């Protein structure tokens, strides 16, 4: 995976290109497995309750370097993402975005004696 640095700060979204249609001289991220990557990232964000949205979009204009992703708004591009990169991407998202409380309102792993 190659990273092109953009703005820092807390991203609100991770944009994942899942474009399935290649152009006349352009490859497409969908043809390189980006749907599978998006599904795995969505599952990882849910499981770890990371406070960020994963949004599937159609093209980040980095078609030759895909699968392509970008922290948004205005953040770094992640290019040539492979399955093995996903744990590190989730770690970065968790560190920069934090986590949501559990749906029952209790923090993750909370224990209340006698409750």
Q: How far is the CB of 93 from ligand FES (least distance, A)?
A: 20
Q: How far is the CB of 46 from ligand FES (least distance, A)?
A: 24
Cβ–Cβ < 8 Å for 105, 30:
no
Binding site for ligand FES (CB under 6 A): 17, 19, 28-29, 59-63, 66, 68
Q: Nearer to ligand FES by C-beta: 48 or 56?
A: 56
Q: Which residue stretches of the chain are H helix?
A: 34-48, 86-97
Count Cα neighbours of 110 within 13 Å in the Cβ-side half-sphere.
11
- Residue 62 vs 97, nearer CB to ligand FES: 62
């Amino acid at each position: 995976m190659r990273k092109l640095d953009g703005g820092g700060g807390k991203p609100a979204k991770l944009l994942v290109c899942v474009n399935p249609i290649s152009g006349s001289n352009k490859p497409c991220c969908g043809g390189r497995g980006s749907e599978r990557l998006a599904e795995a990232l969505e599952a990882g964000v849910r499981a770890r309750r990371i406070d960020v949205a994963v949004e599937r979009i159609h093209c980040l204009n980095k078609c030759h370097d895909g699968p392509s992703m970008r922290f948004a708004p205005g953040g770094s591009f992640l290019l040539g993402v492979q399955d093995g990169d996903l744990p590190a991407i989730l770690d970065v998202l968790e560190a920069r975005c934090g986590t949501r409380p559990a749906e029952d309102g209790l923090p993750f792993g909370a224990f209340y004696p006698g409750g």
